Structure 1
Amino acid sequence: MQKWTIWAAAAILAAGLCACGANPTEPAETPSNSGVSAQAVHALGLTAQQRMEDYEALWATLRDSYPCWGILEREGVDVDAIYQEYKELVSDSDSDVDFYSAIYSALWRLGANGHLWIVEPDTYASYVENLAAYQDADRGRWAEVLKSEKTASGYQKLDNLLRLLGGDEDGGTPVADTPDTVTSMILPGNIGYLKINSFSGNMETDGAAIADFYAQCANCDDLIFDLTTNSGGSEDYWEQLIVAPNIEKTLSASHTALVRMSENNTPYLENVFSASELYTIAQLPDLPKLDAADRALATHYVTIDHTVVPAVRRSPFRGRIWVLVSDAVYSASESFSIFCKDTGFATLVGTQTSGDGIGIDPIFLQLPNSGILVQFTALFGLNVDGSSNEETGTTPDIVSADGENPLVTALRAINAQKGIEP
C-alpha cells in the first residue's frame, strides 16, 4: 500500500466566521441579516431549496460515512437536536450567510473527532497547493474533487462571502503568525533538547537546523524531543527528520483501522488500498476493548503500516531518546507517539495524547449545490487492544504527575538512570 501523509493544512482550522470576530474555539453566533450587505446575503447564489438540499446532503452523507458516531454517543452528544436546530435555521432564513453559519456551527457542535471540519478557503488553497507539491503521488480522487470546476467556483464564492463579512480585503481569513517550528538547546547534564511545534514546517529548512543540532549533540547522553504543543502535520517530517537519522536498523509498526465502504468513501479508499488490503469486518478477530457500536459501523478493516529505514547519513548522536507529549498531540504527532511506543524508538513522557494518528489524509464530503467541502477521516484507527485511538489516544511510558511539566518528569527519569539523587 502506498504511504500517505496527513496534510499540514488539516491542522489549521481557520474558521471563516473569524472574519466576523468569532472565536474559532467557540460556536459562532448566528449572524443576523441586519447590518449584512445584500451582496453577502446571497454571495453563494443559492436558492432556498438548494440550501436545504445541501444541508440534508451533509447529514445524510455523514450518517452513512462518518466513522465516529460511536464516540459521539458515548460523549452524550444530542445529534438529533443539533440536526433539527440548524435545519430550522436554514429553513427559516433566505440567507447564504445563515446557511454557512448553520453548517459551521452544526459541525462545531458535533465536535472535531476524526478531523471533522468544514474546509475553509485558506485550507482549500493549501490543499490545492499540496497537490502540486505531491504531483508524483497518486491522489486521484482527492485531485478530482479539489480541482473540479464546482469546487473552484464554490470557493471563489465562499471567499467572497467571508470577505464581504469583514475578512481580509484581498480575500481569505487572516491567520495569526506562528512561532518558529524548531527550538533547540543543550541543557545542563549533557542533555540535548529540541522542541518541535509542528510537523508542518519546511522540511528542507527544518531538516538543516535539526541536522546541525544533532551534530551539537554528538557527545550528549540523552536527547529530548518536545512535542507538547505539536498537533500534527506531515508524517514524512518525523519519519525522515527524526527517526531515520537516529536508527541503525529498520523499524516497523502496524495498526488496524475500521472503514465503511459508503458511496462517498469508497472512491477514496479504493484510491489508497487494493482489493486484497480491504478485509471484510467478519474477518476481524475479537479485540477486548473494541466497542460494538464502532464495529457495527464498519464494513471492512485495513492495516496501516509505518516502516522507517535508516538514513544514508546517520546522526552522530548515540544516546537515549525521550519524547515529551501532552493532550495537544494529535494526528501526525500522534502517529509518531504510537510509533515510538510500538518500536521502542524513544521513551514517551508526559500526559495522555489526543489521538487520530492511525489513518490517511482526511477525505471530503462535497455539498452538491454550494460546492463547499467538509472533511473527515475515513479510517477509525484502533489501538492494540481495540480501543479507539481517536478517543483514548496513547498513554506515555512515564506519566507526569498532575500539573507537572513533562520536561521535569523526563529530567527526573534521566537523572534516575544516571544514579543522580533528586
Structure 2
Amino acid sequence: MKNNLKKYLISILSLLVILSSLAGCTKETSNVQTSIAQLTKEEKLEDFEYLYKIIEGNYPFLKVNERVNGIDWLENKDEYKAWIENTTDNDTFMGQISNIVKELNNGHTHVVSKEEFEWYYDVYANSEGSKTYNKPWAKVFKNEKVLEWYDFDKNHMKEFENGKYFGSNDPAFNSDIIIPNELAYLKINQMNGKRVEEDGKEIRKFYEEIKDYDKLIIDIRGNGGGNDLYWRKNVVEPLAKINISVDNYVFTRGNYGNPFYKSRGMKLFPISKLDKKILQDFPEEIETDFDHYNIFTLTLKPVSPVDFKGKIYLLVDQGVYSSSESFAAFCKDSGFATLVGETTGGDGIGIDPLFFYLPNSGIVIRFSSLLALNGDGTINEEVQTIPNIEIDATIGANYEEDNAIQYVINN
C-alpha cells in the first residue's frame, strides 16, 4: 500500500509540473460526454483485450511491479475483466480502465483524462514537431475516434499563453546565500522548459557572484520534472570544467514503440548482439523478456563556464521524478555533484512516454516504454537513484531545521 501511494503521489506531481496545475491528474475521468452511444459489453471487453495485449507485449516494468508492489498484472486478467463486465455506462467503463492501468504503479502510465486531453493535444498534435519528431504521438491524438470520445474541437481550444504548460510562468528557481563567502543555495522548483533561457541568465549571474564559494547546494527536492534542457543548460553547462559523459543502457519490448523511437532518431539493436559477459550482469528479465537495446550517451560540455571552484551538493527526495530524476542520475553516475537526502522517485532516463488508444472507445493511455539501467546496472524505475549521503530529506521551516542543509554546512 505504501509503495502504491508513493507512485500515485509521484504521478500527480509529475503531471502537475509537466502540464499545468491540474487536480487529480491520474484519477479516472468522469463527465464523459453523453452524446456518444453507450458501448456494448462486447465493445468494452474488446477494448480491454486490446489494452491487455499492448501492455503484455510492450510494457517494460511488469516484473518490477511484481517485485516492488506484489502485483502480477498479467495474472490478474480475469479479475480486471470482471471489473469491465460490471461497468454500467461509458463513465464507469473509463473509470475502471483507469483503475486497471493504475495497477501498473508507474507515474508515467495512466489514462488521459478529459481534463488533460487538451494540454496533451497541444503539446504533441498542435506543435511545430507534430509532423516530424512528434508525428507518432500526434497520430494518436488526431484520430477521429479519440477526438469523438474526448468531445474535442481543435478550433475551440483554450488560449495557452506563450504555449506554456506550467501552473506559473514565474521563475522556476530561487537563490540565496546561507553563509556569506562560504555556502550558496539554489532551489529549482521545476524543470520548466519555457523558462530555460530567461532563468538561465539570472542563474548565471548568481554563479558569477558565488564562484569563489566553498560549497553550492542545488535543491531539487519535490521537483517532479519538466524538461531536461533546464538542468543541462542552467546547471551543468555553466558549472562544468570539462566534458562530462554518462552512458545508460535502455531496453524495449515488442513493436508498438518502433515508430516513436524512429521519429526520435533512436536506433535499436537486438539483445542477441550484447556481449554475454555484459548481459549476465544485468537483471535476468533483460535477456528473457526484452527484444532490443540502445545505449543513451549524454555528453555535456562547458559553455562559457563561470569557473566555480567549490563543491556541489544536490539535495534529493522521493518527489524527484522524470527529468529531475534524469538530473539526479546524471550527477550520481558522473560525480558532478554529491547527492544528499533520500532515494528519488525514478523513471527519468529515456524519451517521452508513448500513447495508444482503445479501438472502440477512443480512450487514450499513456505509458512508459523503456527500461533504463543506472550506471551500476540496476533498474532506474525499481532502485531509483540512491544518494551518496542518505539522510532525512524533509524540507525544514528554515535552514537551521533542515537536516540535509545542516549536513552540508557541518561536513
Superposition TM-score tier, normalisation by shorter sequence: 0.7 to 0.9
The reply on whether 1:102 has 2:96 as its aligned counterpart is: yes
| Residues 161-217 of structure 1: CA deviation (Å, up to 9, x unaligned) | xxxxxxxxx9xxxx9967963222111243211111211352233323323432442
Which residue of 182, 189, 194 corresponds with 1:197?
189
The reply on whether 1:321 has 2:315 as its aligned counterpart is: no
Which residue of 139, 142, 162 corresponds with 2:137?
142
Q: 1:328: Cα distance to partner? A: 1.2
Tell me the amino acid that sits aligned with residue 91 of structure 1.
E
Q: 1:24: Cα distance to partner? A: 6.1
Paired position in structure 2 for 1:308: 300
Gap regions ≥5 residues in structure 1: 1-7, 160-169, 417-422
Paired position in structure 1 for 2:333: 342
RMSD: 3.6
The reply on whether 1:153 has 2:148 as its aligned counterpart is: yes
Change (3 A) 1:264 1:116: same
**Superposition pairs for residues 17-28 of structure 1, below 5 Å?**
none
Q: Does 70-79 or 210-219 show the bigger shift?
A: 210-219
Which residue of 254, 257, 270 corresponds with 2:247?
254
Does the aligned pair in 2 maintain the 1:44–1:158 contact within 8 Å? Answer: no
C-alpha separation in 2, matches of 1:40 and 1:146 = 17
Paired position in structure 2 for 1:370: 361
Q: 1:265: Cα distance to partner? A: 1.9
Tell me the amino acid that sits aligned with residue 91 of structure 2.
V
| Residues 99-156 of structure 1: CA deviation (Å, up to 9, x unaligned) | 111111112233126x211123444333333341556962232232233333333332
C-alpha separation in 2, matches of 1:10 and 1:142 = 22
Does the aligned pair in 1 maintain the 2:13–2:319 contact within 8 Å? Answer: no
Superposition TM-score, scaled by structure 2 size: 0.79
Q: Give the count of matched residue pairs.
A: 379
Q: 1:373: Cα distance to partner? A: 1.6
| Residues 370-408 of structure 1: CA deviation (Å, up to 9, x unaligned) | 222211122100123332110001121222158797953
C-alpha separation in 1, matches of 2:46 and 2:273 = 35
C-alpha separation in 2, matches of 1:361 and 1:58 = 19
Does the aligned pair in 2 maintain the 1:246–1:317 contact within 8 Å? Answer: yes
Does the aligned pair in 2 maintain the 1:13–1:117 contact within 8 Å? Answer: no
C-alpha separation in 1, matches of 2:299 and 2:85 = 50
Change (3 A) 1:284 1:368: farther
Superposition TM-score, scaled by structure 1 size: 0.78
Does the aligned pair in 1 maintain the 2:62–2:72 contact within 8 Å? Answer: no
Paired position in structure 2 for 1:290: 282
Does the aligned pair in 2 maintain the 1:359–1:377 contact within 8 Å? Answer: no
| Residues 308-349 of structure 1: CA deviation (Å, up to 9, x unaligned) | 1222x4336432211101111121111111111222211111
The reply on whether 1:76 has 2:67 as its aligned counterpart is: no
C-alpha separation in 1, matches of 2:337 and 2:394 = 23
Tell me the amino acid that sits aligned with residue 388 of structure 2.
D
C-alpha separation in 1, matches of 2:147 and 2:200 = 34
> What secondary structure, in the 3-state scheme, does the structure 2 residue paired with 1:192 have?
strand
The reply on whether 1:412 has 2:407 as its aligned counterpart is: yes
C-alpha separation in 2, matches of 1:49 and 1:10 = 36
Which residue of 256, 263, 267 corresponds with 1:271?
263
Q: 1:81: Cα distance to partner? A: 6.7
C-alpha separation in 2, matches of 1:120 and 1:322 = 38
Change (3 A) 1:123 1:91: same
| Residues 65-110 of structure 1: CA deviation (Å, up to 9, x unaligned) | 1011111221311425753334223323340011111111112233
Paired position in structure 1 for 2:387: 396
C-alpha separation in 2, matches of 1:24 and 1:122 = 8
**Superposition pairs for residues 50-69 of structure 1, below 5 Å?**
50-69=43-62
Change (3 A) 1:203 1:65: same
Change (3 A) 1:176 1:102: farther
Does the aligned pair in 2 maintain the 1:199–1:332 contact within 8 Å? Answer: yes
Tell me the amino acid that sits aligned with residue 338 of structure 1.
A
User: What is the aligned-residue identity percentage?
Assistant: 32
Does the aligned pair in 2 maintain the 1:12–1:123 contact within 8 Å? Answer: no
Paired position in structure 2 for 1:224: 217
C-alpha separation in 2, matches of 1:203 and 1:309 = 17
> What secondary structure, in the 3-state scheme, does the structure 1 residue paired with 2:348 have?
coil
C-alpha separation in 2, matches of 1:318 and 1:150 = 57
> What secondary structure, in the 3-state scheme, does the structure 1 residue paired with 2:150 have?
helix
Does the aligned pair in 1 maintain the 2:189–2:222 contact within 8 Å? Answer: yes
C-alpha separation in 2, matches of 1:403 and 1:92 = 43
Tell me the amino acid that sits aligned with residue 15 of structure 2.
I
Which residue of 88, 93, 103 corresponds with 2:87?
93
C-alpha separation in 2, matches of 1:211 and 1:55 = 51
The reply on whether 1:12 has 2:22 as its aligned counterpart is: no
Q: 1:229: Cα distance to partner? A: 0.7
> What secondary structure, in the 3-state scheme, does the structure 2 residue paired with 1:264 have?
coil
Tell me the amino acid that sits aligned with residue 218 of structure 2.
F
Q: 1:295: Cα distance to partner? A: 3.4
> What secondary structure, in the 3-state scheme, does the structure 2 residue paired with 1:187 have?
strand
Change (3 A) 1:408 1:273: same
Paired position in structure 2 for 1:166: none
C-alpha separation in 2, matches of 1:157 and 1:83 = 32
Q: 1:226: Cα distance to partner? A: 0.4
Change (3 A) 1:83 1:245: same
C-alpha separation in 2, matches of 1:10 and 1:376 = 16
C-alpha separation in 2, matches of 1:41 and 1:230 = 38
Q: Does 86-95 or 132-141 show the bigger shift?
A: 132-141
